[in-house]
Structure 1
C-alpha cells in the first residue's frame, strides 16, 4: 500500500513540476512571454487533458475526491505563482488582463474536463481513458470541420474557449459572447454531472439527452453567434450578382449599383489576367463575399485586419474598405488550388511562405512598386531574411509581416521567372526543390540573393526604413493588452471623455513607445486646441521613434504643431527636411502642399479647418494654377464629404499635364479614384498621361497596369448592366 501511495505522490509531484516548467518556459517565449491570451490558451489545452485523465486515475486508485480537489487547486495555482515570481524580475504586462483570460479559458477548461471524466466513468463500465481521449478528439475536431466547411476562420470550443483565426488582429478581449459561451459550457457539463450523481435519470436516457443537447447547441450555434454558416452569411449579405466567373455576395444597402458594377468588373478583369498569365483557372464560379467594413468582417468571419481566401471552398472574403488592395492577391489564392494538394488544396505541409509567396509574386505589387525593386533595396539596406528558414515551418510569422511577404513573393517570382510556372507548381505541391528545379533550396536561395545584389537600388535608406522598420506581433511588448487599452481609449475619445482617454494613452507610453498612443494624445489635444501640449509631448517622445517609419509621420505632425504655435520658421525647416528625405511620396506631397499654403498665409487656417473648409481652400488655391501636391488631399476630402468625382474634375480649370514622375504618380492615383467612380474616360486619359512620364519610375509597372485596366473597363463596361438592373 505504501508503494502505491508513493507512486501517486511521485505522479502528482511530477505533474506539478511539469506545469511549473511549462509556465516558466512560456514566459520566456515570444507572444506567450506576456501573461495573456496565448499563455491561457496553451494552459487550457494542457488542463483539459490533465483534468480528466488525472481524475480517472484518481477514481481507479480509489482515492478520495478531497485529494483531487487539493491537487486541482495546486495545478491551477502554479501558473499564477510562476507569473507572479517572474513579474518580480521583469514586466509581464497587466496581471489582471492575463488573469481574466486565465479564468475564462484555462480554469474553466480544467473543470469541464473534470466533469466530462465523471460523466464518462458513470456511464461506461470500462475503457474510460480511451473514451475520454475519443471525446477530446471529437471536441477538438468540431472546430476543424467548422473552419473547413463554413465561411469562418474563428471558432468557439469547450477546450480553449475561443480562437480568433489569425494573428494579425492584436485587439483580443474577453467579450460578453465568450463569457456566456463559457457559462453555457460549464452549465452543460456540470449539469449532467449533477444528474448522474443524484441518479435522477436512467443512463440510456441521460446519454441520449447529453448527445441531443450537444448536437442541438451545435446546430443553432450560428444563430447564437458561435459559428457562421453560409446560410447565416447570406442573410447578412443578402444581395448577389452573378457574372461569368463569380457569384458576388454583398449588402446593397451599403454598396450601391455603381460600386458593385466596378467591383464586379475588377473581379472579371483580374480573373482574365490571372488565367492568361498562369495558364490555368478554377473550373467553377468563385464565391466572393464583400463585408460592409472590417468590424463586420471580424464578427462574422473572424479576421478584421486581413482579407482571406479559402481555396478548398472556392471562396474569398474581403470588405468594402479593403478589396481594391487585396482582390488580386486573394483571387490568386483561389487559382493556387489548381496546383495545391490535399483536401485543403494548399501548398505542401501548409507552408505559409509558399502559399503567400505565390499570391504576392503574381500580384507583384508592394505599395504600387514591383516586388524585386523593393526587395533589392531592403536587402541593400540590411533588412534581410534567411530564405531557407523563411520557407521552413512557421518561420514566415517570426518577423514583421511586410518583410516576410516581400521576400516570399520576390523569391517566388524569381523562381517562376527563371524556371517557369510548371516547375514552380511541382515545388508548390511537393516542397521538393530538387525535384522541381534540379537544385537544393540553399542553391536557389544563393542564386536569388546574387540576383538581388545585382539589381539596382532604387529606394533610399529612408524609404526602405519607412516600409520595414516595424515589428511583428511576436516582437512587440504586451501587444494584446496594449491593443485592448488603445481600443478603450479610442472609445473614450469618441465619447469626448478626454481625461479618461488621456490617462490610458499615457499609461501605454509608460510601457513602451507606441505610435497609436502618441497620435491618440495628439488628436485629443488638437480637439481641445492644446497645441503647446502637443509640442511638449513630441519634444519628449519623438526621439523614441527614431529609426522607425513613425518618426517621419510624427515629424509632419511636429511641423504642423509649430505652425499652430506661431513658429513657422522651424515648421518650414521640418517640411523641407521631409521633402529632402522623401520617406514616402505621399509625405513629400503633404509637405509641399503645406509650404504652398504657408506662402499664401493659409496654412494655420487650413490646419484648424473642418473638411468642408479645407476642400474649399484647396479648390480656391487651384484656381490660380494647378497645384499637383494638393490633388491627393482633395481626393481624400472629396471621398469623406461624398462630393461626386465629376465635380472634383470640373474644379481644375486647366489640363492636368505631368512634367515628371511625381506628378505622373499623382495622376495615376487620380485615375484610380476616377475608375472607382465609373468615370472611365477621364480615368484612361489620366493614366495615359501618367504613363508617358513614368518611364524609369518605381511606379511604372502599376501605372502601366492601370492604363491597361482602364482600356479593359471601357471595352467591357456594359456587360453587367442588365444584371445590376435586376438587383434594384
Structure 2
C-alpha cells in the first residue's frame, strides 16, 4: 500500500487524534505554566505520544501496515501540532520564543520513538497478549519512577515515557542541560537500532537480516543497562547512598542526624546547629504531643548544590514519609523548624506520604506555619492583619480549596493559611486540628463550618492596631505576583536568567538590552528595577533619574523590587548633589521598618549621601567587597558592622551591641556570633540586655529568646560534646 493510500485509509484516525490533541492544548490554556509552550506542556504531550506511538503502532502493525507509514503518521502529527503550538505562543500568548520551545520536539520525538520501539518489541506476541505485555511495560515504568520519587531524596525524575519531570515548580528556568540530552540520546539511539532494523527488513524483505534481529534487540537493552549503571554519575538520579557519601560530615543526636555537604570547622557553630534542632524538637513535641522516629537533616553548601543533586534551588523542602529534610547553610535557621513541623504533623496521618488529607496545600503548609509561628520579626498573625487590611480580601477558598493555595504569592498564602490554622489550634486545641489535618475535612473535627470560622478569624485580626506606615510595609512585603500569576513566566524567566548572568559578568550594556525586552512584554516592578539597576551600574545616573521620574511606577510600592528601585534612584540623586531629596527617600524607607536587616542596609547606603564619591564603589564591587572597602572610610562605624556581624571579631561586636541596645534582631545575631567565638560571657550579657530592656515584644521574639537561652545554658554548662 502506498503512503497516499495509507493516509486515505487512516485519515479518520489522523484527523480525530489531531483535533483531540489540539483541543487538549486549548484546555491547558486555563492552567498556569501549561499555557506556554515550554517544559510543562511538553511533558504532558511527551507522555501522550509515548502511549500513542506504542499502542497505535502495535495496532497498525497487527494490520500489516508498513512501519515507514506508521512513523510518518506519528511524526506528521508532531510537526503539525508543533507548528500550531508555536503560532499560538506568538499570537495568543504573545511570548518570545526561547530555548523552551525545543522541549516539545525533543521530548515528543524521543517518547514516540520509544513507544514505537516497544510496539515492535511485543509485536511478535499473538493476539491480546501483546497489548497486555505493552500495558504492563508502561505500568512498570510508571511504578518505577513513583518508587524512585518515594524512596530517594531527589525531586526530579527521568523516565522514557516523559523524559524529564522537574519536581517543584518554583524554579523559573529549566533548560535542556547536558544530562537531559545524554538521556534523550540514549533513548533515541536504543529505539532507532530496532526501528532501523525493521525498516531495512521491511524494505528489502531479506532473510539474511533475520540473523541480526536478536543482536539489534540486545543492543538497546545493553544501552539501557549502561545508562542505568552510570545514572548517578551523570546526574540522572541521586540515591540515599550517594547523598550520604557526599554528606560525610555528620552530627548525631538521639532524635536526629545532621549531614553536612562540607565540614563545619567551628566547634561552637557545630553545636549551634545541633542545639537549635534539639530545641525545635522539644517545642514541637510539647505543642503536638507527637514524637516522630529519627529525622535526617541534610545541609547543602548552597542552593546551586541543592539543585544539582535534588532538582530545586528555590525552596527548602522535606519528604515527611522519609523523615528527611533538605536545607542550605544560609537558610538553616529560617526554615529547618518549618520543615520539622511537616514531619511532626505527618505523624498524625495514615496516608503513605504523611501529609494532610486530600493533599490540601493550605493545610500542609498552613499547618507547618502554625507550628513554626514566626516570619521575619513578628508572628504570621501580625502579617495576616497587614494582608487583610492593605492587600485584599480573601476567603477560606483562596487557601483551602483544591490548589488555589499556589495561585498567589507564596508568602501571602503561607501566612494567611498558617494564621488560620494557628487560630484553630489556639481556640480548639491541637487534637481537633490534627483530626482536620489527617482527614482534610473540617466538619469531623469542628462543629461549625470552615466559612464561619474563617470569618471569625478575619474579625479577630481586624482588631490588631495598624498605622499608616504599615500599609506601605504590606505593599513592600506582599506586592508582586507569584510565578503562576506572571505572564510568559518560563520564556521571560529564561531571558532574565541570561541577563542576570551578563550582569554578574559586568556586561551591563548587553544585560540592559535583554531587561528592556522583558519590560516591553511584562511591565512589572521587577523588570523595571533590572533596567534601572543596569543603568546605575553603568554610572548613567542621569538616565536613572529621568527613567524613574517618567515611569508609571513612580512613587508606587509593589513588592521589594520597588524598594530596591527607590534605593538606586536615591543614590543617583545623591550623585547629582540632590542631597535633600535623597535623604528624604532614605528616611521614608527607614520608617517602613521592614526588618532590622533592611534597616541596617538603608542606614549603610544613606551614609553615602554625604560622600557621593563612594557610590562608585558600589557599582564596581559586590556588596561584601563594597562593605569591606568603606570600612576604611567609616572605621568602627556600627552601621557598617551590622551588615557583616557573621564575620567580625568580639571587639567589633562590642561596638555593634553598644549601638543596638533596642534592636532585638541585631542583638540576637551578636549573641550567636559571640557563641561562635567562644565568648560566653558576652553572650550572656546580650541575654541580660534583652531582658532588662524588655525587647521581647511578640511571640516570635520570645521563641527566639528562649532558643538563645537554651543554647547559652547548655554550652556554658559544658553539657555538650565539643570534640
- Given the two structures, how large is their TM-score scaled by the length of structure 1? 0.88
Q: Which residue of 2 aligns with 1:488?
A: 498
**What is the SS of the residue equivalent to 2:233?**
helix
Q: Which residue of 1 aligns with 2:441?
A: 432
Change (3 A) 1:461 1:420: same
Q: Find the aligned partners of 2:708 and 2:387 in 1 and give their Cα distance.
A: 32
Q: Which residue of 2 aligns with 1:408?
A: 417
- Whether the 8 Å contact between 2:664 and 2:696 is mirrored in structure 1 is no
Q: Find the aligned partners of 1:718 and 1:107 in 2 and give their Cα distance.
A: 64
Q: Which residue of 2 aligns with 1:506?
A: 516
Q: Which residue of 2 aligns with 1:100?
A: 102
1:194 is displaced (CA, Å) by 4.0
**What is the SS of the residue equivalent to 2:285?**
helix
**What is the SS of the residue equivalent to 1:240?**
strand
Q: Find the aligned partners of 2:694 and 2:20 in 1 and give their Cα distance.
A: 63
1:703 maps to which of 677, 685, 701:
701
Q: Find the aligned partners of 1:540 and 1:173 in 2 and give their Cα distance.
A: 36
Q: Which residue of 1 aligns with 2:166?
A: 164
Is residue 274 of structure 2 the alignment partner of residue 287 of structure 1?
no
**What is the SS of the residue equivalent to 1:571?**
helix
1:178 maps to which of 171, 180, 186:
180
1:578 maps to which of 568, 586, 589:
589
Change (3 A) 1:287 1:436: same
Q: How does 1:322-341 map onto structure 2 within 5 Å?
A: 322-341=331-350
Is residue 66 of structure 2 the alignment partner of residue 64 of structure 1?
yes
Q: Which residue of 2 aligns with 1:649?
A: 653
- Whether the 8 Å contact between 1:619 and 1:651 is mirrored in structure 2 is no
Question: Gapped runs of 5+ residues in structure 2?
Answer: 202-208, 619-625
**What is the SS of the residue equivalent to 1:432?**
coil
1:18 is displaced (CA, Å) by 0.6
Q: Find the aligned partners of 1:453 and 1:347 in 2 and give their Cα distance.
A: 28
Q: How does 1:215-254 map onto structure 2 within 5 Å?
A: 215=225, 217-253=227-263
Change (3 A) 1:155 1:326: same
Q: Which residue of 2 aligns with 1:530?
A: 540
**What is the SS of the residue equivalent to 2:445?**
helix
Is residue 321 of structure 2 the alignment partner of residue 305 of structure 1?
no
Q: Find the aligned partners of 2:407 and 2:85 in 1 and give their Cα distance.
A: 24
1:206 is displaced (CA, Å) by 7.4
Is residue 349 of structure 2 the alignment partner of residue 346 of structure 1?
no
Question: Gapped runs of 5+ residues in structure 1?
Answer: 623-629
Is residue 647 of structure 2 the alignment partner of residue 636 of structure 1?
no
Change (3 A) 1:122 1:646: farther
- Whether the 8 Å contact between 1:309 and 1:316 is mirrored in structure 2 is yes
1:203 is displaced (CA, Å) by 7.6
Change (3 A) 1:269 1:720: farther
2:661 maps to which of 652, 658, 661:
658
Q: Which residue of 2 aligns with 1:10?
A: 12
Q: Which residue of 1 aligns with 2:614?
A: 605
Q: Which residue of 2 aligns with 1:270?
A: 280
- Whether the 8 Å contact between 1:154 and 1:165 is mirrored in structure 2 is yes
1:446 is displaced (CA, Å) by 3.0
The aligned length equals 703
1:425 is displaced (CA, Å) by 1.3
- Whether the 8 Å contact between 1:657 and 1:689 is mirrored in structure 2 is no
Q: Which residue of 1 aligns with 2:689?
A: 689
Q: Which residue of 2 aligns with 1:356?
A: 365
Change (3 A) 1:382 1:573: closer
Q: Which residue of 1 aligns with 2:715?
A: 717
**What is the SS of the residue equivalent to 1:95?**
coil
Q: Find the aligned partners of 2:493 and 2:81 in 1 and give their Cα distance.
A: 24
Is residue 380 of structure 2 the alignment partner of residue 371 of structure 1?
yes
Q: Which residue of 2 aligns with 1:137?
A: 139
1:512 is displaced (CA, Å) by 1.6
Q: Which residue of 2 aligns with 1:625?
A: none
RMSD: 3.2
1:377 is displaced (CA, Å) by 2.2
After superposition, the C-alpha distances for 1:326-363 in whole angstroms (9 at most, x for unaligned) are 01001111212211222222221222221111110000
Q: Which residue of 2 aligns with 1:559?
A: 570
More displaced, 32-41 or 525-534?
525-534
Change (3 A) 1:218 1:255: farther
1:367 is displaced (CA, Å) by 1.2
1:536 is displaced (CA, Å) by 3.7
More displaced, 443-452 or 428-437?
443-452
Q: Find the aligned partners of 1:265 and 1:720 in 2 and give their Cα distance.
A: 13
More displaced, 496-505 or 176-185?
496-505
Change (3 A) 1:594 1:233: closer
- Whether the 8 Å contact between 2:193 and 2:220 is mirrored in structure 1 is no
After superposition, the C-alpha distances for 1:24-73 in whole angstroms (9 at most, x for unaligned) are 33245322222211121121122122122222222233333454344223
Is residue 270 of structure 2 the alignment partner of residue 260 of structure 1?
yes
More displaced, 327-336 or 4-13?
4-13
Q: Find the aligned partners of 1:195 and 1:6 in 2 and give their Cα distance.
A: 27
- Given the two structures, how large is their TM-score scaled by the length of structure 2? 0.89
More displaced, 513-522 or 74-83?
513-522
Is residue 626 of structure 2 the alignment partner of residue 619 of structure 1?
no
Q: Which residue of 2 aligns with 1:31?
A: 33
2:393 maps to which of 378, 384, 388:
384
**What is the SS of the residue equivalent to 2:377?**
coil
Q: Find the aligned partners of 1:236 and 1:201 in 2 and give their Cα distance.
A: 47
1:372 is displaced (CA, Å) by 1.3
Q: Find the aligned partners of 1:650 and 1:436 in 2 and give their Cα distance.
A: 52
Q: Find the aligned partners of 1:650 and 1:261 in 2 and give their Cα distance.
A: 23
